[in-house]
Amino acid sequence: MLSPGAGRGASYILEARGVRKVYGDHEVLKGVDLLVSPGEMVFLIGPSGSGKSTLLRCCNRLEEPSGGSILIGGVDLLSPRTDINTMRREIGMVFQAFNLYPHLTALGNVALALRKAVGKPRAEAERIALENLSRVGLADKARAYPAELSGGQQQRVAIARALALEPKIILMDEPTSALDPELVGSVLEVVRDLRQSGMTLVIASHEMRFAREAADRVLFLDQGQVVEEGDPESLFNDPKEERTRRFLRDVRR
């Protein structure tokens, strides 16, 4: 199912080529390509420090890439003429640390960007926010503050916050790594639903089982480079590269 709003003539929702990122004299990303078609769910796996987070953060310019090109729906993300704030509404982001605003209710968290970035009146913004909270199963927690919610609930609110802006693609940076094991399931449930409804997703994660079950493609990153890429079946069962084999072995242990 094609995701709506794919740019005119663009076949990829996210087209990142040759992305490089340098911090001082440390090269975190050494020319990474990431091409995502509408409706795809792409998993990024790899050891910590491999650049997965950095890559995702470059894709909505929370980090400025040192080199390469990134197109979202055919539009050049890195061009100075691009309005980054408008573009960011098309790119949803979910963080490992949730990053919910502690001084606002769940409803307030989801509605804030609708009111201020999009400019919707309060009543309409709250209506949309409530819809999205229902979508992640938390309509009854709309008036609760983040401190009153469990980790899994907070992350689901964070997903609703990204969803409410109707993005073309959602990037998730280790969405379940900060959660107690029994709460992971509720978040993965929501991710599954998103996929079913045709949302394009790029997820950096350690959830290998989930990747095997749901991902269309898996990329293995190590030391800033894509070492291997392929569908989950082949990559997990029959990795071609030695580094991939070693990583999968360590993770299984």
Partner 1 sequence: MEILVHEFFNLSVMARVAPLILRGLIETLLLCAFLVPIGLLGGLGAMLVATSKYRFARLAAMAFIDFFRSFPPLVLLIFIYSGLPFAGLHVPATLAICVAFLLNSSSYYGEIYRAGVLSVPRGQIDAGRSTGLTAWQTFLYITLPQGVRNVLPELLSNTVELVKLTTLASVISAPELLHSADLARSLTYNSSPLVLAAIIYLVLLWPIVRVIRRLEHRLGPQSAR
**Min CB(62)–partner 1 separation in Å:** 6
The alpha helices in the chain, defined as continuous H runs, are: 52-58, 84-90, 106-116, 122-135, 151-163, 181-196, 208-214, 232-237, 242-252
Contact pattern from residue 67 through residue 86 relative to partner 1, giving x for each residue in contact according to CB under 8 A and a dash for the rest? ------------------xx
- Angstrom CA distances, 204 to 9, 51, 94, stand at 28, 10, 10
* Contact residues for 250 (Cβ-Cβ < 8 A; gap 6+): none
23 near partner 1 (CB under 8 A): no
**Min CB(130)–partner 1 separation in Å:** 17
101 near partner 1 (CB under 8 A): yes
Segment contacting partner 1 by CB under 8 A, of 30-38, 67-75, 93-101, 196-204: 93-101
Query: How much of the chain is helix, strand and coil, in % rounded to 5?
Result: 40, 25, 40
117 near partner 1 (CB under 8 A): yes
Beta bridge partner(s), residue 152: none
Contact pattern from residue 166 through residue 205 relative to partner 1, giving x for each residue in contact according to CB under 8 A and a dash for the rest? ----------------------------------------
Segment 146 to 165, residues that bind partner 1, using CB under 8 A: 158, 161-162, 165
Q: 142 with 107: CB under 8 angstroms? A: yes
DSSP 3-state assignment of 91? Answer: strand
Q: Which residues bind partner 1 (CB under 8 A)?
A: 60, 62, 85-89, 91-93, 95, 97, 99-103, 112-113, 116-118, 158, 161-162, 165
